[in-house]
Amino acid sequence: MGVRSPNNLGFFCGKITSTISFVRTYAVGFVHFGRQIVTSHARMTEIPINSGKTAIVTGGARGIGIEIVKQLLQADMRVIIACRSVSSGEKAIKQIRVEGVKSGVAECIPLELASLDSVRKFVDAFLSLGIPLNILINNAGILAPPYKLTLDGLESQFQINYFSHFLLTVLLTPALVRGGHQGDGLSRIVNISSIMSEIGDVNFEDLLMSKFYDRNAAYSNTKLMQIVSSCHLNRQFVAKNLPVRAYSVHPGVVKTELAIYSPVYFMMKLVLWLFAKTPSQAVDTVVYTALSDELIDCGGTFISNCKIIRPNWKAEDIEIQDKLWELSCKLCKLGRNEKAINTLTVDPFVVNAGRIN
C-alpha cells in the first residue's frame, strides 16, 4: 500500500533539499563511474570448484543475480534462487543451462522481500531441506523508487534493501554456522552494497526518514546500513569463534535496470551501455568475495574490483553497529533466542520427524 511521501520541511525547502541530494548523489556516482572506466577490471583467473556446498542468492532471477547463480553453478554448487516468482527463477535456470553450464544444481524458493512473513516462510522452507548453508549472497535490491510502505509498515526501499535481508541473515545464521563446521572453510555472508554508501547516514532520530523522505538519500543510507550490519555480524562471529564471516561488496556501475526509477534513467542508458560493466563483469567481485581463499581472514571488509577498500567511517563505529543491531532486531520483531547468534537453541537440521541430517 502506498502513502504520500512525508515532508515536514515545507514544499520549497523540501524541493531544495531533494535537489541538493540529487546533485550530490549523481556527482559522487559519476566520479566513481569515471574511476571505474579508467581502472582495469579485476577477476579471479579461475573459479574454484566447491562441490557439495550450498549457496542462497536473493534476486537470482534477473540482473546481476543470474550471473551470480551462473558462476556458482560453474563452481559445481547447489544454488537456491530466492525470488518473488518461481517461474522467473526457473526461466533463469533454463537460460543458464542453454548457455552451456551443466554443472551444479539449481532450484527456486519464493521470497518476497517486501514481507517479513515471506522471509520467515523462506527460511522455514530452506531449513526443511535439512542441508547446511555455506554462502548467503544478499543481492536483491531497489534504487530510489517512489515512497511506499509495505504491509509491515516499513518504507519499501529500507525494507527490501536492508531490513528483510537483515532478518534473513539472522535467521539463517545457525545454518551458516553448521555449514562452516561441516565444510573445509568458513561460511560466508556477502551483502551487495554500493559505493553510494560513502554518502549514506544512519540517523537514529529518524532512521526510516518518516519526517522527510528523499529517495536518493534513502538508497545511500540503506547501502551504508548493509555495511554496518556486516561489520557488526563479523565482529560477533569472531568474538564467539563461529565459523562464519561477513563481507560487503560494491559490484560497480552496471548495465542493468536498477536505476529505472531515476528521472534521468533514459539519458543514462546510452552512457551505461557504452561504459558500464556488464552483469558478468560486475559479479566477478561478488564471486571472488564468496569463494576466494585470499579473503578467509578478511571478514568485515568492503570490497570493490576484487580489492579491499575503506568504507564510510560510520560502518566501523562500534556504537553505531550496536545501536543499529538492536533497532533492526526490534523493527524485524526478532525474539530473544533468534537474535542470540552465539546460542543455537534449536538445531535447524532437526526435521519434524526427529531425523537429524
pLDDT of residue 36: 83
Condensed to tens digits (0 to 9), the pLDDT of residues 299-336 reads 999 999 999 999 999 999 999 999 999 999 999 998 77
Condensed to tens digits (0 to 9), the pLDDT of residues 140-179 reads 999 878 889 999 999 999 999 999 999 999 999 999 999 9
Condensed to tens digits (0 to 9), the pLDDT of residues 189-211 reads 999 999 999 999 999 999 999 99
Condensed to tens digits (0 to 9), the pLDDT of residues 236-293 reads 999 999 999 999 999 988 765 554 555 555 556 555 655 668 888 889 999 999 999 9
* Annotation says 219 is catalytic: yes
**CA distance linking residue 250 with residue 282, whole number of Å:** 9
**CA distance linking residue 345 with residue 41, whole number of Å:** 44
pLDDT of residue 269: 55
Is 10 part of a structural domain of the chain? Answer: no
What is the average pLDDT value for the chain, to the nearest integer?
87
Is 282 part of a structural domain of the chain? Answer: yes
Q: CB 76: neighbour CB atoms within 10 A? A: 17
Is 25 part of a structural domain of the chain? Answer: no
The pTM (predicted TM-score) of the whole model is 0.90
**CA distance linking residue 82 with residue 123, whole number of Å:** 10
Return the higher-pLDDT residue of 219 and 9.
Answer: 219
User: With b meaning 16 or more CB within 10 Å and e meaning fewer, what string describes 236-260?
Assistant: bbeeeebbbbbbbbbbbbbbbebbe
Can you tell me whether residue 320 is helix, strand or coil?
helix
Is 12 part of a structural domain of the chain? Answer: no
Catalytic residue among 162, 213, 219, 288: 219
State the total domains in the chain.
1
**CA distance linking residue 190 with residue 248, whole number of Å:** 6
pLDDT of residue 262: 53
Question: Quick one: DSSP state of residue 346?
Answer: S
Question: Quick one: DSSP state of residue 315?
Answer: G
Is 189 part of a structural domain of the chain? Answer: yes
Specify the CATH number for the domain of residue 204.
3.40.50.720
The x, y and z cell numbers of residue 201, run together, are: 547516514
Is 30 part of a structural domain of the chain? Answer: no
Q: Parallel, antiparallel, or unpaired for β 302-304 and 307-309?
A: antiparallel
**Arithmetic mean of pLDDT, 222-240:** 96
Is 41 part of a structural domain of the chain? Answer: no
Is 32 part of a structural domain of the chain? Answer: no
Q: Dihedral, CA atoms, 194, 199, 205, 206, nearest 10 degrees?
A: -60
The x, y and z cell numbers of residue 342, run together, are: 552465539
pLDDT over threshold 70, residue 78: yes
Q: What percentage of the chain carries pLDDT values higher than 90?
A: 68
Residue 292, domain extent: 50-345
